[in-house]
Structure 1
Amino acid sequence: MSVNVPLRTVYAYDLLSAGAIGCRVDAAIESALRSGHLIGGQIRVALDGEVIYRRDVGVLDPAHGTPVAADSLFRLSCLSRLLVSVAAMALVGEGRLSLDEDIHRWLPDFTPLLADGSLAVITVRQLLSHCAGFPRRLPTAAVAAEAYQDASVADDTQLPDTLRQLGMASLRYRPGSAWGHSMASDVLAGVIAQFAGGSLEAALQRYVIGPLQLRSTGYVVANQPGPGPVFVKGQPVHPLKDGILSCADDYLLLLEALRQDGGVLLPKVLIGEMAAIQTGDLQLQGWPGRGFGLGFTVLRDPLAADSPESIGTWRLHSAGGHSWFVDPLKRLSGVALTNTAGNTTDSALARLLRNAVYGV
């Protein structure tokens, strides 16, 4: 005897249920482990402010078999730039920093030149939107470091020399005329350090780390073991510098604080300014269909980006192996911190996780 069972209609929101997302992300992670796109990492996804997926996977170092744990630390690499951007916007909110004023006011000895030898006028907005013309890395960066990890913002001991080198180099283009992810964040770090006794670390503590009580974030994290090696094509490499350290739980707290209108961090209007595309019709190399706000990319054309995310979604990924996103419309956010560099040059791992979250 046959029984006719009506098929339930599958709605779009079923794809974004906690259970469905968890199953798909688990499958994506297993695939990434098999392919070598992931050796060890922390992955978190939040929906409407609630963490719906949390997984610590793989090992910090296969040679020692140390598993990744919830409190394992990772080098943020260029993801550290978001902390600097938030600190700068907090100073804007206090009225101590202006987005459209020449940074020469705060860094009088910092005098980068245009290709024709004339002095460049650079604003805080251009630093935040990476339209200031600075290079992607220092001319003196070691070849090995270029491949994976030299994008962390310099700490207090390194920052003076970093600014000196950037100040001596010619800009790649006139500020405001093009876009390129660059060391503009280090210059911005030099600006905000002026408001904290010359210390970038003190500024980040005051405006980001302290207000959110990020207990595993900083250039030095007390009572926690340091990060292991970074793996490039499966081989362990020990970076020349650690930069800012963090864990996925801390970074997700930062993302959610911004998604939920800032709270203790920033006024709502300033978060809106960060999420507004600042780059006009400029094409972002490596980011089709996206513009750049004040600290991250912003999705403008899902078809061009080949992305299931909502228009207005914020996203960054790093050659150091990390990625994060915030979809304000769907109230989704997520972060993956890994020790597996080079897998996001073509955004392979970031794309795999993104598609798993959205069910495509």
Structure 2
Amino acid sequence: MKHLKSITVGLAVLLMIAACKTNSDTAKSSTSVKEVSLGISSDSLIAATKRLHQHVDEGKLPGTFMRVIKDGTVIYDDKYGQIDVANGKPVQENSLYRIFSMTKPITAVAIMSLYDQGKLQLDDKVSKYIPEFAQTQVYKEVDGKHSTEPQKNEMTIRHLLTHTSGIPYGWERSYTDSIYATKQFMRQDWTIEDMAKDLATVPLKYQPGTTYNYGLGVDIAGYIVEVVSGQKLDDYFNSVIFDPLQMDNTAFYVPKEKKDRMVVIYTHDEAGKIKTPDQSMAFEVTEPPKLLLGGAGLFSTLGDYEKFCRMLLNKGELNGTRVLSEKAVQLIMTNQFGPEVETQPGMGHGLSGTVNLETGEYSWGGAAETKFWIDPSNNLIVIGYTQLMGGKTDYATEFKATIDNSLGN
């Protein structure tokens, strides 16, 4: 069983779906498995697919889209459920998702394209491009009172892309977080330039380079892309990344003619079942936004993001088009934490993504439960999409664990 050709696995999966579907009227399925020896047992893949679909059948997710690429071939492709439950719209290849923080690796690629052009270095001070940050202070409590001190080692681009800049999101309980929450830096009525310069007036939560703290640093890196390139972030993304990779459905907004392809974004009710979100997610998305967030702003299809992942796995090139140098990709996908930064055992952080120090796997996710993994040691990409805010249904990680176990990871 251990090395069955996956066409056999595919037939078993399709039979399992027909037998086990509990809600066939509302949870349409499309599953494809290629004839490639993956080294995964049919029983394991059937169980993983059944569990994946169970999240939808139990009303915990609206729909799921899972894809596995091995040795350059899509060997597993599963679409299940809906993008709009109320209207019965099924998950499709061209469904458009908010990828939120999966925007961050794209900003890292934009920065590293400027690195390849010799226009910046990772250890350049942020103040070289945004002078206001030269005067940014660091929070310090003195005798129980709020105080500040100068930056001991001034913030760099590397700090921004590894979340060690001292810039938070404003989600935690601290003096600096409370200021961020009050200022609402991610509001839609100003530009990234306005945001960056105002943010520079707020004390940093930590000394740069000392502590991992997830925050708005990658958005500041996005503004540096604008400063150095002389282009707006969306234009630079298009010219340097999206157009070369033919990522034709990735942008900071959804054109009106594509709006019917948007996936409705859900939350959970008290019983753990999906419900449509509150008004905080209801802002207009059919026009280019004023605020271009390089840390959270993009919409995309799974197929478009697959192209992006393939480019990184292939060391900066896809289908004869080179987007980045091999050195730039190596920097993105290897640990960039300084020696002072504490992290989980075996885990580091590349540029805008987590790095497994043992396997070299590079990964990240988005707030609405979109996730990807790039595993160079096994020439493997796994991508999982749904749209759920604030949920605890770890559908993609569960499925990925089956793949890992089959490969001995």
The equivalent position to 1:60 in structure 2, one of 75, 83, 93, is 83
Q: Which residue is 1:320 aligned to?
A: 368
Q: Please state if 1:211 is matched with 2:244.
A: yes
Task: Output the CA distance in 1 between the equivalents of 2:120 and 2:59.
Answer: 44
Q: Which residue is 1:307 aligned to?
A: none
Q: Please state if 1:41 is matched with 2:64.
A: yes
The equivalent position to 1:289 in structure 2, one of 346, 360, 371, is 346
- Alpha-carbon spacing, 1:76–1:262, altered in 2? closer, same or farther (3 Å): same
Q: Please state if 1:190 is matched with 2:216.
A: no
Q: Which residue is 1:114 aligned to?
A: 138
Report the identity percentage: 23
Q: CA deviation at 1:231?
A: 1.0
- Alpha-carbon spacing, 1:112–1:35, altered in 2? closer, same or farther (3 Å): farther
CA contact (8 A) 2:315 2:326 kept: yes
Task: Output the CA distance in 2 between the equivalents of 1:112 and 1:86.
Answer: 27
Cα RMSD of the aligned pairs, angstroms, is: 3.0
Q: Which residue is 1:232 aligned to?
A: 267
Q: Which residue is 1:272 aligned to?
A: 330
Structure 1 alignment gaps of length 5 or more:
1-7, 302-310
Q: CA deviation at 1:283?
A: 3.3
Normalising to structure 2: TM-score of the pair? 0.73
Q: CA deviation at 1:336?
A: 1.2
Q: Please state if 1:136 is matched with 2:194.
A: no
CA contact (8 A) 1:93 1:266 kept: yes
CA contact (8 A) 1:132 1:176 kept: yes
Task: Output the CA distance in 1 between the equivalents of 2:74 and 2:57.
Answer: 26
Give the number of aligned pairs.
332
- Alpha-carbon spacing, 1:167–1:334, altered in 2? closer, same or farther (3 Å): same
| Larger relative contact order, structure 1 or 2 (CA cutoff 8 Å, min sep 6) | 1
Q: CA deviation at 1:324?
A: 0.6
Q: Which residue is 1:5 aligned to?
A: none
CA contact (8 A) 2:2 2:40 kept: no
Q: Which residue is 2:13 aligned to?
A: none
Q: CA deviation at 1:10?
A: 5.7
CA contact (8 A) 2:333 2:350 kept: yes
Structure 2 alignment gaps of length 5 or more:
5-35, 140-147, 171-176, 269-273, 286-296
Q: Which residue is 2:128 aligned to?
A: 105
Which one-letter code corresponds to 1:218 in the other structure?
Answer: A
Q: CA deviation at 1:221?
A: 4.2
- Alpha-carbon spacing, 1:123–1:228, altered in 2? closer, same or farther (3 Å): same
* 1:1-360 → structure 2 map (5 Å cutoff): 16=39, 23-110=46-133, 111-115=135-139, 116-118=148-150, 121-137=154-170, 158-222=191-255, 223-225=257-259, 227-233=262-268, 234-237=274-277, 239=281, 243-263=297-317, 264-280=322-338, 282-284=341-343, 289-300=346-357, 311-343=359-391, 348-359=394-405
Residues 167-208 of structure 1 deviation map (CA, whole Å, 9 limit, x = unaligned): 222111011001122211110001001134351111111221
SS of alignment partner, residue 201 of structure 1: helix
Normalising to structure 1: TM-score of the pair? 0.82
